[in-house]
Amino acid sequence: MSLVNFTTREITCKIVYYGPGRSGKTTNLHYIYGRVPDSRRGRMVSLATQTDRTLFFDFLPIDLGQISGFSTRFQLYTVPGQVYYNATRRLVLQGADGVVFVGDSQARQLDENLESLQNLQSNLLEHGVDIRTIPLVLQYNKQDLPRELILSPADLDDALNFRGVPSFSADALHGKGVFETLKGISELVLKKLAAGTAA
């Protein structure tokens, strides 16, 4: 999928929210969905189990309208975080222009975060994508939880952000940091677009 299509004058960005189970990926999308005017958003597709866990993936298309003569669309996806849905994750990751890694700030979830990050790396590699080249931001979610339960953004940076990508602390449930994260990843994706206009 080409990011910029000069013939049809379209820009389409596929952004995938990745992370361990229950880290708040779908919550991010729900918050965004709630903030986008009706005219700009498509139907949010959410395939969830009865217990409200993402079974397949969530999909939220956003139409940003004409920007510099390009009709610009963002497609936001989440992957199922649970370990046994790896095939789905890999599928959703295909053709992603950028990845938001939603980490769980709870201290006891650190290993899950690490595991998921490694899983992201290997799944990207399956698609022939180097994690060092794809636009990636980290979101440390659930920063609203009591201090004693969570790690600080600085600690999480130390533990997870060894590539030094932009990181955002967030409270997706209440929307804190959600749009900051989206802006962060959009900027990276679009800047990459600028670098490779020849696409």
- For another protein, the binding residue among 1, 6, 45, 132 (CB under 8 A) is 6
CB nearer another protein, residue 66 or residue 122: 66
Alpha carbons 90 and 179: distance in angstroms, whole number: 25
Which residues inside 27-46 make contact with another protein, applying CB under 8 A?
Answer: 32, 35-40
- Pick the piece of the chain touching another protein (CB under 8 A) from 1-9, 22-30, 109-117, 123-131: 1-9
| Span 70-89, contacts to another protein by CB under 8 A | 70, 72
Closest CA to 30 of 181, 145, 175: 175
**Nearer Cβ to another protein (9/163):** 9
Least distance to another protein, CB of residue 50, Å: 31
* Cβ proximity to another protein, 87 vs 195, nearer residue: 195
State which residue, 160 or 190, has the beta carbon closest to another protein: 190
* Interface residue with another protein, options 53, 61, 64, 106 (CB under 8 A): 64
Please give the Cα distance from 3 to 97 (Å, whole number): 7
Nearer to another protein, 97 or 112 (CB): 97
For residue 99, what are the contacts with CB-CB under 8 A and spacing of at least 6? 15, 16, 17, 18, 93, 120, 124, 134, 135, 136, 137, 185
Residues numbered 136 to 195 that lie near another protein (CB under 8 A) are: 175, 178-179, 182-183, 186-187, 190-191, 193-194
Residue ranges that bind another protein, judged by CB under 8 A: 4, 6-7, 9, 11, 32, 35-40, 64-70, 72, 175, 178-179, 182-183, 186-187, 190-191, 193-194, 197-198
